[in-house]
Structure 1
Amino acid sequence: MKAFNQIAIPHEDIREGRLTMDIFAADLWQVVKGTAPRDYQDPDVFFRKTHITKGLKNILQVAESRLKGRGGDAVIQLQTPFGGGKTHTLIALYHKAREWGANVVVFEGTNFDAKETRIWEELERQLTGKVELTKGDTAPGKEKIIKLLSENAPVLILIDELLEYITKAAGVKVGDSNLASQTYAFIQELTEAVRAVGNAMLVITLTSSTLEQYDEKAEEVLNRLQKILGRTEKIYTPVSDEDIVPVVIKRLFSRIDKKEAKKIVDKFVDYIEQEGVLSKEEAARYREKFLESYPFKPEVIEILYKRWGSFPSFQRTRGVLRLLSLVVYHMLDKGVPFIRLGDFDLSNEEIRRELIKHIGNEWDSIIYSDITAEDSGAKIVDKRVGSTYRPYKLGTVVATTIFMTSFSGRGERGVTMKELKLYTLLPVLPASIIDTVVGYLRERLFYLSDEGLYFVTQPNLNRIILTYEENISPEELYEEERSLLEKNISYKPKFKVYIHPKFPKEIADDPELKLLIMKNDQVDREFVEKYGESPRIYRNTLIFLCPDENYRMDFQKDLRKYLALRRIKEEKLDELTKSQQKEVKRKFGDIKNRLYSSLREFYRRILLPEREGFEIVEMERPHPRSEDKLDEAVYDKLKSEGYIVDEISPRIIKDRYLRDRDYLEIKKLYESLLKIPGELRMASKEGFIRSIKKGVEEGYFGYGKLIDGRIEVITIGETPDIQLSEEEVIVKPELCVREEEKPVETPPVESKEEITEEVKHPPRSKAVEEEVYREITLRLEIPLDSPSHVHNVFSTILNILKCLKSKFKNGEMEVTIRAKDGEISKSDYENTIIEALRQCNISFKVDKK
């Protein structure tokens, strides 16, 4: 779609950024003096940028008829709200009256000092250039006024801000009275005189833009003037609510290509109807309003005029013009097809100031913390929605829209989800994305009300939670982390478990497998090599579980939130609203359920001692409903990948340990597995014994004893009785002849350390010669059963892939997922499935029904 400024061409002052307040703050007296901006001073420019409303057209027609002697209302009172076009109407009358050849008298109450100027004298001065007939501190009387008007007719008298002048005149003494009383008398005389002269007319405004700044008698003054004028005047309203849109459009834009505008409006309205945001009837009405307000969405002008315009300080038409001119200028280079409420850039100082001055300076920090700061909730949501939607800055757009609808001088505030979608969507976006964005904003914003879609000055539940989080000390955080680890160790662990050990001496030096849960991601080698001051013997029994520093911040964030919510439940729950109490309980339940998964993601790096350094094994992310304890997860992982075994294959024992020797002491082999880092880790001594028995039974090797340096073969092909005594050996099968004994000299034994090194261990990766496969294709059929089943299946597949990756140079995996006998919404499909695939850069083809 074309950019709006290619279709709706802003006036030159808007395009060039000449947006000072005086451009929109019309001043009748400046026009009279010839010092007004060109937009008001030059009649041609003024009327080119002015939309002639029905009310204004009517006033001009009445004035023309009266001044040309054709009759009509002699006295008119203009009645408008603050900023409702009153001064603009007076300027229009001034220019037209001069065009018709009439004399024009202007009295603007804010520009005259009551001590120096009498209104009747100013009337004569402007008509004749001198003061003779009306000179004096008292009203001149009706006859003198009639004479003055008749001699200078046609005459148009424009009186503005009379209330302010009379308020000042009340302080000027005139005999036993004051100048205010004389002014009342003059106004009554003037109205009667104007009626008496056929081609004279009085247009007067009484409302004050700042009534509250005067004394308590100001309202009494206003009532008295209205009573005087009420005998002769007729009230006219130049601008109605229906006129505001064309008034704004005419003032801001020099021309609009209606044909191109209609294309954009039709495309948006058709889309919004298709998305189900508006019904057919609602869409038809919206289309009509949008065509009139383009390039602004209809709600932009409506919200500003009706809601913001209800603030006493907001000068309705003038305020709307000023604010929208800033927005248009800011959006000129953005390439957007139309302007939404969410396009108001609250980080722009001028735009923000125009809003803040009506609602209070406290909103400055709220806007910054929730919407405009780089680390604000809105900016975080901009990025969180995913790469597809990131360019549209939906967090900021939606938050800004909610902000703009949060205020009204009448107390009206907030927006519905239906309205929010209508106000923020673009034709390239699914309507459901706004639901997602609002959900994210509710998690991130600190001043978005917990009761509805509007901003408040009091911190919401998010801010309360954050305050509690900020008060949690590092010591409390660590104690809870340790407590969580302790709670997630099984009742009867398969390891001896040590949590955050500080010194090697704390760790027993015995044949049992030990799990050391470390505080940091680095392991001091002394834990492997030392037991206090002595060398550690059973080095291959140590397994280290370390945190992944990439996840420390996420884990501590979850842990901090858990502690904060627990404390809020204990200390503050009764002070919260019902909905906040419900939300605290929900959030606490969610974070409590997630905490173990977070712990598992953090403690995921298993370090296995090797002869030099460590082998690192990464644990997968747990299933959300996993009930495995932490030590069980480590054990199962190492067992599934062959680092811990229940039994050793007899073939491996024969090929790896017996290949280059005639016999091998069984106990020495067992102890070498416990002592040498990087060797196989037996789950138990019993499993090792079963492995030896099985090898003897199946004939892989024989069983015997070493007596006085000679082998006594006891059995092969039968089940031996193994005690793990010093003299027990396994023997090559070809040497196993029961009737004979073969003398074998054994090397002398000097120390335990030497015994350990006597068993030569080829690398585990060295393959035994056997049949090999040079290409593998696996086709799997996996039912979508329970989540835990699917998780276990994919965990197994991941291990298979790791194995294949280490054996083959090239490979690929094709996955076909078929889901049936159910349904998924378009939004869930796009946001959950398609977006996940895109973020992982996975190419895919889709066949959906």
Structure 2
Amino acid sequence: MKPWREVAVPHQDVLEGTFQQSEFAADITAVNSGKASREYQDAAAFFDRTFITEGMGHLLTQVAQRLAGKGGEPVVQLQTAFGGGKTHTMLAVYHLATRKCALSDLAGIPDLVDRAGLMDVPQARVAVVDGTAHAPGQPWKRGSQTIRTLWGEMAWQLGGADAFALVADADATGTSPGKDVLRDLLERHAPCVVLIDELVAYVRQFPESQAISGGSYDTNLSFIQALTEAVKLVPRAIVLASLPESDLEAGSQRGVTALRALEKTFGRVQALWKPVATEEAFEIVRRRLFEPVRDENAREAVCRAFADAYIAEGVKLPAETQERRYHDRLLHAYPIHPEVFDRLYEDWTTIDGFQRTRGVLKLMAKVIFRLWKDDNKDLLILPGSLPLHDGSSRNELTYYLPAGWDAVIERDIDGDRAETTALENKEPRFGQVGAARRIARTIFLGSAPASVASKVAARGLDRARVILGCLQPGQASSVYADALGRLTDRLHYLNTSGDKGQDTTRFWFDTRANLRREMEDRKRRFDDRTEVRGKIADVLKKTLGSVFDGVHIFTPHGDVPDDTALRLVVLPPEIWYTREESRLALEAVLEIIAKNGPKPRYRSNRLMFLAPDHGVLARLTDAARVTLAWNSIVEDVREGRLNIDLLQKNQAEKELKGAEEALPRVARECYKWLLNPMQDAPTSSKPTVEAFALNTAGASVGSEIERVCTDNELVITTWSPIHLRTKLRELYWKGEQRSASAAGFFEDTLRYLYMPRLRTRDVLTQAIRTGAASIDFFGTAYGEADGRLEGLSLGGRDVVFDDTLLLVEPGAAQAYDEASRSSVVSVPADTLLTSETPATPPPLPGETGPSPGATTPAPALPVTKPKTFHGSADVPTATAKMRLVQLADEIVAVLASDPNATVRLVVEISAEFPDGASDGVKRAVSENANSLGLKSAEWE
């Protein structure tokens, strides 16, 4: 397919940029005086570049019939909006009546003559009465003749001095000549045409209740009424008058009054006239700006490709693009896209002052000139093609808009410093098709008039129409949709309504910065060290629930407790980590585990660290600032410090909600590095730091940290006794030392990085209890004194994990147990008494024992039962807890098992202090004795 520049070539004046703006304004007086440019002055050239619209064709038919005496309306009032083609239509009538060539040389006229049922249209005299050509109080000259009034000017143009003589007295006195005189004048010079333009501009100049050389306000209205009545009586005469449509064009209140009076006067006899339709404007602009298209096949191929592409996109584009007639619209408008005309004629013509035809011609001439210079290769000239970076094209549009639009275009829409250009430079897929600038230009063309025109019902364009203004065959609409979404987040003057991303969302530009601009301004106010860091800390607190007893976010290392709790230290943003540059974070971790403020840190193995990723850090900071900014806007609206409309209020609340939802996600993506300080062996290596990347797509950060810690055994929650035995053999059961303190072992796991990091003390307790039930792992004892192991046990007994508990190497425990058993002295069997062989006391001295064979009956011994038990025990201080438990289980519990027994337990505590007890000990013991209810607790 060929681009538009290879199929439709602009006229030479458009190509060279030599046209003058005034040439687009048809000036009937200039044509009448022979001073207009060729395309307006020459009848054949004029009709070559003029598309005869339905309204113009109907009017020319009326004129032809009237001049031929075959009917037709005598008076026609042309009243449309500014730039609606009134003066251009009058010129068509002028050239039809005054032509110097054959009718066949005037493009389009022969068909109209045939339609009117005529063989020919007679040439006619034409009087052009231009209200802006003369001042009502200043006479002017026609040769040697002085003329003072409009009726004098009309008569002179129709018949020179002879005709002027009929109205000379009326011209001299400034009074209306009357219907009969005007009828005589028109009959003498028929066929004739009277063209009256800018009549309101002339009549409104007359002072109130005062006559001047041009007559008075009332005499001029009387002249118009007499003329319209007279022309009805002359079959081959016709009057055409143009009146402005709006009060604004009429000017002052005096002009509005004149307009109302003239409307009433012409309204009595006027004929209807249809203004230029939007579809007809296609051909008007094409004929005026382009040479005839010679390669019809190329035009058809392009238009067919656009129509097929639109059908393929379906609901992503406006409904009318799916209709067959849209292909016809593309053909008629070629090489300009119909959407350009729709926006100009539906939106821009609602602005008072924008000329319906002339304004479009002036704008498109400048656009085409710049696109031609820039070697534009678009298939059609779309809304997204408009070169708003070009000052001349931009000024033609912003001239009709309020002040401030230049800044909007330069900042958000088009230009080297625009946000759209920056986005395209950053994103190649947008830059390849100019997606961002095309989107912004399309939205501007469809939304800028709403800033001044109250007739626009709904502001902006919907998503489908925005894409329509950009998309070309072979391109994906998704690229433009993505670019639109990105621009919504970046541009300062782009406003939206409706839910973001929905097809019903509307987009428009305005000179007032949107709330996003307010947000951008505010987010720079927040301090990184206080407000931004505080916001990030608040978010991390909500997302870092985990296996740790304490989480310290951005806490100075001197304030992190040095105790037995397992703690996660979250490093501040300035201490970041990457695999390529890890030194900053690693040095910070090693310093924290070495120092607790000015003092050394003892329990270094209770700390783990979470560090931010440098690549995401800037995005996290920005997300925090955005959230703070939106929150401040919503707060200011709520407190009445910021006045915005309801739509913007809802937008601010929606943006705040979105920012608060996005911030935790960005925080998780940023704080993704779990740093674990470790050491391979006690003396063979220095402390190092391992880094583990967290999966940021998990359910929660806390659960992900727990998974990494468990999978990599960074934190042990369940420990097997075999691992405990291995660690004891490796570090504690060496040489003659065959036992180790369990409490000391746990304390070492808190301090040394080469030791396992147990979740809590209960993990070790469970491992000890499980291992103590077997003879394979270790034995247990409760203290060692004089080479004796108190309470040694190897398998099968409950274990109390206290500060006295010893873990004994199983071989040593077994040998000690066997040695203890062999040292017990046995009692001789013949000294034992049994119930079956009662002991016989030996005979006393001097007595003779029983004679052999004699039988002595055994005495009956009374059976007595003990009724009282007293027991006392010395309890070693080192094993007091274990011994008291044993006494309770094995003595007190057995005694209490008899329901009739009364058991009374008295604990006597005696302590001596050779140097005297300290105040702290005395106070603590007294308070505890009081709270425990001791019967006596005395100090001496």
TM-score by length of 2: 0.63
2:863: which partner in 1? none
- Say whether 1:89 aligns with 2:89: yes
Give 1:11 deviation, angstroms: 2.3
Amino acid corresponding to residue 555 of structure 2 in structure 1: P
Deviation at 1:86, TM superposition (A): 1.2
In structure 2, what is the equivalent of residue 498 of structure 1? 552
Q: Which amino acid aligns with 1:99?
A: R
Shift of 1:41: 3.6
- After superposition, give the CA deviation of every residue in 1:688-707 in whole Å (9 maximum; x if it has no partner): 899999999999999999x9
**Residue aligning to 1:325:** 365
Amino acid at match of 2:691: V
Instruction: Give the Å deviation of 1:650.
Output: 5.8
Change in Cα spacing, 1:559 to 1:373, as seen in structure 2 (3 Å) is: farther
Moved more, 175-184 or 81-90: 175-184
Match of 2:711 among 630, 633, 640: 640
Aligned mates of 1:594, 1:232 — CA distance in 2: 70
Task: Tell me if 1:391 matches 2:413.
Answer: no
C-alpha distance after superposition, 1:538-589 (max 9, x if no partner): 5555433233343333223333444455566666469988877776666555
Number of residue pairs matched?
Answer: 730
Output one character per residue of 1:469-519: Cα deviation in whole Å (capped at 9) or x when no partner.
Answer: 5665653333333344444454x85355433233x5434456765432222
Q: For residue 377 of structure 2, what is the aligned residue in structure 1? A: 335
Letter aligned with residue 25 of structure 2: A
Partner of 1:264: 302
Deviates more, 1:640-649 or 1:12-21: 640-649
Deviation at 1:85, TM superposition (A): 0.9
Q: Match for 1:319: what amino acid? A: G
Pair 463,625 (structure 1): closer, same or farther in 2 beyond 3 Å: farther
Does residue 604 of structure 1 match 2:649? no
Residue number in structure 1 paired with 2:153: 122
Cα distance in 1 between the residues matched to 2:263 and 2:662: 70
* 1:112 correspondence with 2:134: yes
Q: 1:399 to 1:456 in 2, by over 3 A?
A: closer
Q: CA, structure 1 residues 126+699, in 2 after alignment: closer, same or farther (shift >3 Å)?
A: farther
State yes or no: 1:620 paired with 2:688.
no
Indicate if the aligned counterparts of 2:569 and 2:610 stay in contact, CA closer than 8 A. yes
1:128 is displaced (CA, Å) by: 7.0
Alignment equivalent of 1:312, drawn from 334, 348, 352? 352
Q: Does 1:179 align with 2:216?
A: yes
Q: TM-score, normalised by structure 1?
A: 0.69
How far the C-alpha of 1:83 sits from its partner, in A, is 0.8
Bigger Cα displacement from structure 2, 268-277 vs 720-729: 720-729
Cα shift at 1:82? 1.6
Q: Is the CA contact 2:436–2:480 (under 8 Å) kept in the aligned structure 1?
A: no
Conserved? CA contact 1:106–1:157, under 8 Å: yes
Aligned-pair Cα RMSD in Å: 5.4
| Residue of structure 2 in register with 1:450 after alignment | 497
Kindly tell me: are residues 232 and 695 of structure 1, through their superposed partners in 2, closer, same or farther at Cα, counting changes over 3 Å? closer
Question: C-alpha separation between the residues in 2 aligned to 1:679 and 1:126?
Answer: 116
8 Å Cα contact 1:546-1:607 kept in structure 2? yes
User: Among residues 471, 481, 498, which one is paired with 2:536 in the alignment?
Assistant: 481
Q: Aligned to 1:158, what secondary structure does the other structure show?
A: strand
- Say which is worse superposed, 100-109 or 23-32, in terms of deviation: 100-109
Counterpart contact for 2:138–2:213, Cα < 8 Å:
no
Identical counterparts, % of pairs: 27
AA aligned to 1:494 is F
Tell me the distance in 2 between the aligned counterparts of 1:19 and 1:204: 29
Deviations 1:181-224 (A, max 9, x none): 34334445555666677765543223377755644233342344
Q: SS of 1:79's equivalent?
A: strand
Shift in CA distance, 678/334, structure 1 to aligned 2, threshold 3 Å: farther
Question: CA offset at residue 617 of structure 1?
Answer: 1.7
Name the CA distance, whole Å, in 1 between partners of 2:565 and 2:273: 99
Q: Is the 8 A contact 1:381 1:394 kept in 2?
A: no
Establish whether residue 98 from structure 1 lines up as the match of residue 98 from structure 2. Answer: yes
CA distances 1:239-271 after superposition (whole Å, capped 9, x unpaired): 345522222222222123433222222233233
| More displaced stretch, 562-571 vs 720-729 | 720-729
What does residue 4 of structure 1 align with?
Answer: 4
Q: How does 1:120-159 map to 2 (within 5 A)?
A: 120-123=151-154, 126=157, 133=165, 134=168, 136-139=172-175, 141=177, 155-159=192-196
| 1:748 corresponds to | none
The DSSP-based 3-state class of the residue aligned with 2:204 is helix
1:230-249, aligned counterparts within 5 Å?
234-237=271-274, 239-249=276-286
Aligned to 2:331: 291
Which amino acid is 2:130 matched to?
Answer: E
Give the match's secondary structure for 2:194: strand
1:316 CA drift (Å)? 0.9
Q: Distance in 2 between matches of 1:176 and 1:429?
A: 68
Cα distance in 2, alignment partners of residues 201 and 264 from structure 1: 46
The secondary structure found in structure 1 opposite 2:217 is: helix
Partner of residue 543 from structure 1, selected from 603, 608, 611: 608
Q: Distance in 2 between matches of 1:310 and 1:686?
A: 81
Change over 3 Å in CA distance of 1:28–1:268 after alignment to 2:
same
Compared CA separation, residues 232 and 511, structure 1 to 2 (3 A): closer
Q: Specify which of 518, 528, 535 is matched with residue 571 of structure 2.
A: 518
Cα separation, 2, equivalents of 1:393 and 1:343: 10
Do 1:80 and 1:238's aligned partners in 2 also have CA atoms closer than 8 Å?
Answer: yes
Q: Find out whether 1:413 has 2:461 as its counterpart.
A: no
Amino acid at match of 1:336: D
Q: Which residue of 1 aligns with 2:255?
A: 218
Contact 1:24 1:321 in 2 (8 A): yes
- What are the Cα deviations for residues 605-658 of structure 1, in whole angstroms up to 9, with x where unaligned? 3444577796462533433642x43xx644543443454556698699699968
Deviation readout 1:20-60 (Å, 9 max, x if unpaired): 43242222233344443444344444332211223323444
Q: Which has the larger radius of gyration?
A: 2
Contact 1:551 1:601 in 2 (8 A): yes
Q: 1:346 to 1:177 in 2, by over 3 A?
A: closer
Taking a change above 3 Å as real, the CA distance of residues 64 and 579 of structure 1, as seen in their structure-2 partners, is closer
**1:361 aligned residue:** 403
Distance change >3 Å, CA 664–CA 301, structure 1 → 2: farther
Q: Residues of 2 paired with 1:207 and 1:290: CA distance?
A: 32
Q: How far is 1:160 from its partner?
A: 1.0
Q: Residue 334 of structure 1: CA displacement? A: 3.3
- For 1:268 and 1:199, the matched residues in 2 are separated by 51
Match of 1:255 among 292, 295, 303: 292
SS at match of 1:545: strand
Q: Distance in 1 between matches of 2:350 and 2:651?
A: 34
Separation in 1, partners of 2:69, 2:47:
25
CA distance in 1, matches of 2:209, 2:36: 31
Whether the 8 Å contact between 2:320 and 2:326 is mirrored in structure 1 is no
Q: Give 2:304's aligned amino acid.
A: D
Residues 536 and 306 of structure 1, relative CA distance in 2, 3 Å threshold: closer
Measured in 1, the distance between the counterparts of 2:775 and 2:418 equals 72
Alpha-carbon distance change, 3 to 684 in structure 1, aligned in 2, over 3 angstroms: same
Residue of structure 1 equivalent to 2:681: none
Change (3 A) 1:574 1:11: farther
- Distance in 1, matches of 2:183 and 2:617, equals 90
